[in-house]
């Protein structure tokens, strides 16, 4: 069983791609206080109900960690890249 891993500023949960291979969805904080979801490159993430619940939990943990000033500092934000332009 895969478990979510925890790094400062990063959360992850597992899924399967369209070919049934194990992949992960990364949730990272951006420099402007938003969250970015990084999916497997060029793939579609397929979530079972339990995996969708884990993604929900990862998102909840990330939002709470970034909302609290005491826990926000350890999470180094990554530079966001939307439409090819860093913000």
* pLDDT for position 47: 77
CB 23 within 8 A of CB 16: yes
* pLDDT for position 82: 40
* pLDDT for position 35: 80
Residue 63 reports pLDDT greater than 80: yes
pLDDT digits (tens, 9 = 90+) for 15-58: 888 788 888 888 887 777 778 888 877 777 777 888 889 889 98
* pLDDT for position 39: 82
Residue 78 reports pLDDT greater than 60: no
């Amino acid at each position: 069983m895969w478990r979510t891993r925890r790094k400062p500023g990063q959360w992850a949960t597992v899924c399967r791609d369209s070919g049934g291979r194990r992949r992960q969805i990364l949730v990272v904080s951006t420099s402007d206080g938003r969250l970015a979801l990084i999916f497997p490159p060029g793939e579609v993430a397929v979530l079972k109900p339990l995996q969708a619940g884990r993604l929900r939990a990862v998102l909840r943990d990330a939002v709470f960690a970034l909302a609290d000033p005491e826990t926000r500092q350890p999470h180094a934000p990554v530079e966001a890249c939307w439409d090819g332009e860093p913000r």
